[in-house]
Copies of this chain bind each other. A is one copy, B any other.
Amino acid sequence: MMHGKAKGVILGVLMALVAACARGRATPVAGLPAEAQTVIRERGLSPEDVVAALRTYMPGGKYDEYVMFSSGGHSGQVLVIGIPSMRLLKVIGVFTPEPWQGYGFGEKGTLEVLAEGFARGKPLLWGDTHHPALSETEGEYDGQFLFINDKANARLAVIDLRDFETKQIVKNPNAISDHGGGFVTPNTEYVVEGPQYAAPIGWEYAPLDQYKDKYRGLLTFWAFDRQKGRVDLDRSFQIELPPYWQDLCDAGKKVSYGWVFCNSINTEMATGGIEEGNPPFEAGTAKNEMDYLHIINWKKAEELIRAGKYEVINGIKVIRLETAAREGVLFFAPEPKSPHGVDVAPGGEYIVVGGKLDPHVTIYSFEKIQKAIAAGNFERDPFGVPVLRFEDVKEAQVELGLGPLHTVFDDKGYAYTSLFLDSAVAKWSLGGPYRKDGAEPWKLVEKLPVHYNIGHIAAPEGDTVSPDGKYVVALNKWSVDRFQPVGPLHPQNFQLIDISGGKMRLLYDMPIGIGEPHYAQIIKADKLKPFLVYPEIGWNAVKMAKDPNATEAGRERVEVREEGGRRVVEIWMTAVRSHFKPERVKVRKGDHVIWHITNIERARDATHGFALGGYNINLSLEPGETATIEFDADQSGTFPFYCTEFCSALHLEMMGYFLVEP
């Protein structure tokens, strides 16, 4: 028996306890509804799944922390993806015409951008995009421009990140194939386009038995004019290289500023011919245990250009191979074996080469390279290029596993390398100044399986002077059984991996059923400051300036004139919710039509499309934009034009008739 008072105390304690306990149960994890348990059970989610779901889900209206710009591979486009939600925010039309964004379907400015990329006047309307490169200032992404190459035809595109649209495509006049580009130098002085398959300069004809004499690699330095937002051909130059199939490149930074590094995969100079009993390329290019890391002094190359030590070939300055080799622009160092990625560490001290057919990454010291060059300790390759001694320039080798390809970095002194054959990401420790946590340097730390056949790898700001850590994205080439089947052509698979803790953890599988991406770069979202609408009404989106044919409301008109023996009809039209003005455009068969349309909206997202049936025309007119189409009215008839962006409740009624009298 207890005293009343004691009872009361106990009761109080018990009640408090029960209440606390009940509160604990009602909200077992603060903010987590009981319903969560039901969902977890019903869907069979593992604890890892639950954490991954919570880490990647983006609540409605909240923004991703990072934006990834990924090559779209042979779609020819660029993919814009939010991280961590792994949602595809946009596909940017680059080398392939894309009608949703009105890119290459009648709009004169975009047709001119595409035409600039034609080769010998022959239309090239797709590309094989490989390596996107964000513009940099002092080695940091600055969020202003994005560059991307077309491997199939050796071209480079410039995308302005104010409106995420392609502004320029330059065709490399001397190369027909590139791979190791774009890469930028640390202040975007140049966008570097590395070669791939050797061919005679200007891709002229030469039989394969003249391979050594006539075939060449070409490293292109496209000078970038940030003010104009355009590549400046006059200040650009190329360096002639031996026909070694140069692969990826990266620019030196900080201590290695002024240098560029490229690797190579066919120092054998194999020329294939399996059908003639020769070893196929896959065997012929893989005989040598060592290929050559190309070490290029671009500051020295600039000096040679200033000194006139170049030839102009097809309109661009070229430093010939002999000059480059003699004048200290080009050096080689042995690298094992048919490597893929060459990646400069954040501080520029080390160059990491993924061996591909060798289980190591090989780390070169920039300091040692400089010493070896200064000491003159080299032999020369058959083209006279100085070859440094491997032992003189090697800092370390780390055995990671099968098929190391490409490396990115975090903020804690670790590197992450994709292993294609192992289908894994390898985390390993850097040495030297990066080793502050007492971990053993140059050592494999962990391997995480990915699904499947990883090519490149990307990390937030992971190839800049200050990587963020947090995530890596595995850009896997095969998905096999990973997604709901959608036919024999499978999506690729981007896997988001959390690297913020001690261990790497798989968070998300994102199918890419729209192209085969190669490289990607990931920028802090808040570095991007795009236009929400164009700055003023009448904006020319290609020129990024007010268009002379901008039309104000009330100033719409149609003019007819004779010009060069034909009738020219010129229309100045406005578009606003929910009508075009004029709505009736009448011409005669054979007339030349010049048609300017200005979207006079100022509201965000108030885009109008403009489709003209039967004439293969579609425009996307974002708020403020002026666009021009120009064509011959070569078929008579009655053709509706209409708005293709669902702009209002009366969007379907936003139309007009283009009447072509026979």
Contact = CB atoms under 8 A, between A and B. Distances in A.
Interface string A544-558: 000000000000100
Contacts of A161: 487
A572 to B, nearest CB: 11
B74 A99 contact: yes
A6 interface: yes
Given A17-B18, A513-B80, A28 B24 contact: yes
A188 interface: no
Contact of A54 (B43, B196, B203, B618): B43
Interface string A196-216: 110110111111100000010
Given A73-B100, A124-B616, A509 B60 contact: yes
Given A29-B40, A583-B280, A609-B74, A656 B58 contact: no
A56 B60 CA distance: 13
A175 to B, nearest CB: 10
Interface stretch (A302-310, A408-416, A478-486, A561-569): A478-486
B653 A265 contact: yes
A604 B59 CA distance: 36
A649 B421 contact: yes
B60 A36 contact: no
A645 interface: yes
A516 interface: yes
Given A61-B481, A80-B513, A654-B281, A36 B29 contact: yes
How many copies of this chain? 2
Interface residues of A, number: 204
Contacts of A340: 652
B125 A97 contact: yes
A340 B648 CA distance: 13
Interface in A617-660: 618, 620, 622-625, 634-640, 642, 644-647, 649-650, 652-657, 659-660
Residue among A36, A162, A276, A509 facing the most chain B CB atoms (10 A cut-off): A36
B613 A176 contact: yes
A477 interface: yes
A537 interface: no
Nearest to A483: B89
A196 B152 CA distance: 41
Interface stretch (A45-53, A218-226, A318-326): A45-53
A643 to B, nearest CB: 10
A654 B36 contact: no
B644 A584 contact: no
Interface in A446-498: 451, 453, 455, 477-491, 495
A613 B177 contact: yes
A111 interface: no
A105 interface: yes
Given A36-B51, A491-B89, A485 B208 contact: no
Given A91-B513, A357-B649, A488 B616 contact: no
Interface stretch (A131-139, A267-275, A428-436): A267-275
B82 A483 contact: yes
Interface string A498-510: 0000000010111
Interface stretch (A345-353, A380-388, A574-582): A574-582
Given A100-B514, A247-B652, A74 B484 contact: no
Contacts of A495: 60
Nearest to A80: B486
Interface stretch (A366-374, A390-398, A528-536): A528-536
A406 to B, nearest CB: 12
A509 B128 CA distance: 31
A516 to B, nearest CB: 6
A375 interface: no
B32 A28 contact: yes
A420 interface: yes
Contact of A33 (B34, B35, B50): B50
A50 B32 contact: yes
A74 B644 contact: yes
A337 to B, nearest CB: 11
Contacts of A625: 488
Interface stretch (A115-123, A291-299, A437-445): A115-123
A54 B48 CA distance: 12
A10 interface: yes
Nearest to A573: B275
A153 to B, nearest CB: 5
Given A488-B531, A511-B88, A53 B63 contact: no
Given A97-B125, A176-B638, A479-B605, 7 more contacts: A13-B14, A31-B40, A87-B511, A152-B642, A281-B656, A488-B533, A489-B622
